[in-house]
Structure 1
């Protein structure tokens, strides 16, 4: 999408998930609110074994979030991003994710450019050099 598009074009899908966490689940300004059971009933024909555990991303849910348009007009609302293994967006994608792998690690932070009011990030799975690079942009950046 072009930069002047009404939607943000993300370079890193995992950064986008973190923005969805903030806008949909924390601020509740991105709607409709995602409800896993409703989504599965409407979009997934196979049975999922929740009792046995779902430790890998549900492809249809992951695709839903990757395709979800984030209106550019909401970018100013993002001031803080907090990445935690228990984030609701991660639990929707992988209900029993234990946070012990790199499934949701962000590798490209160029998306910070879209969020002029972003002040702080709390992250997992990044090294000190990445944190320092973010700090050099004037952001507060810490490990979880």
Structure 2
């Protein structure tokens, strides 16, 4: 199975496959995970334990271990960069989008997406993502 180097880039791919396309199943739910531990309100749990701006251990462990096949990765032709992604709420239920928690730090994982042709939102989201035009253009990827 392909290995991602940048956890936050992997989250963008998971958002596309799991929550948008619904082809990576089952969809992860931090609320269900916490309910199994007796926690009824994920957001209150995050805020009450000083974890609102942190990826919860349960979510990090799940998404880091999640294997995505080459076949499924080949279906990714576009990505959306947006602070409102569901995957971010599953990772950090209290996150408000006002920090760099989910900033992508590397484009090395582009190699895992052979059919990626478009990345939307890189200029509008304010996530500090290092998507350089020359890198994307060299790969035939358009960006806005």
TM-score category by the smaller chain?
0.7 to 0.9
2:31, 2:40 within 8 Å by CA — same for their partners in 1?
A: no
Alpha-carbon distance between aligned partners in 2 of 1:85 and 1:68, rounded to the nearest angstrom: 22
Alpha-carbon distance between aligned partners in 2 of 1:32 and 1:68, rounded to the nearest angstrom: 11
Show structure 2 runs of 5+ residues with no match: none
Q: Is 1:28 the equivalent of 2:22?
A: yes
- RMSD, aligned α-carbons: 2.2
How far the C-alpha of 1:107 sits from its partner, in A, is 1.4
How far the C-alpha of 1:83 sits from its partner, in A, is 1.5
> Residue 121 of structure 1 aligns with which residue?
119
Matches within 5 A, 1:102-117: 102-117=100-115
107-116 or 51-60, larger mean C-alpha shift:
51-60
Alpha-carbon distance between aligned partners in 1 of 2:130 and 2:25, rounded to the nearest angstrom: 33
Spell out, residue by residue over 1:94-144, the C-alpha distance to the aligned partner (whole angstroms, 9 max, x if none): 11212221111111112111111100113331257x2332223221123xx
19-28 or 91-100, larger mean C-alpha shift:
91-100
> Residue 31 of structure 2 aligns with which residue?
37
Pick from 69, 78, 81 the counterpart of residue 79 of structure 2: 81
Q: How many residues of Structure 1 are paired with residues of Structure 2 in the alignment?
A: 134
- Stretches of 4+ moved more than 6 A in 1? 45-49
Show structure 1 runs of 5+ residues with no match: 1-6
> Residue 50 of structure 1 aligns with which residue?
43
Spell out, residue by residue over 1:51-77, the C-alpha distance to the aligned partner (whole angstroms, 9 max, x if none): 473332212212211111112220121
Mark the CA change 1:49 to 1:74 in structure 2 (over 3 Å): closer, same or farther: closer
Pick from 59, 65, 68 the counterpart of residue 67 of structure 1: 65
Alpha-carbon distance between aligned partners in 1 of 2:64 and 2:80, rounded to the nearest angstrom: 19
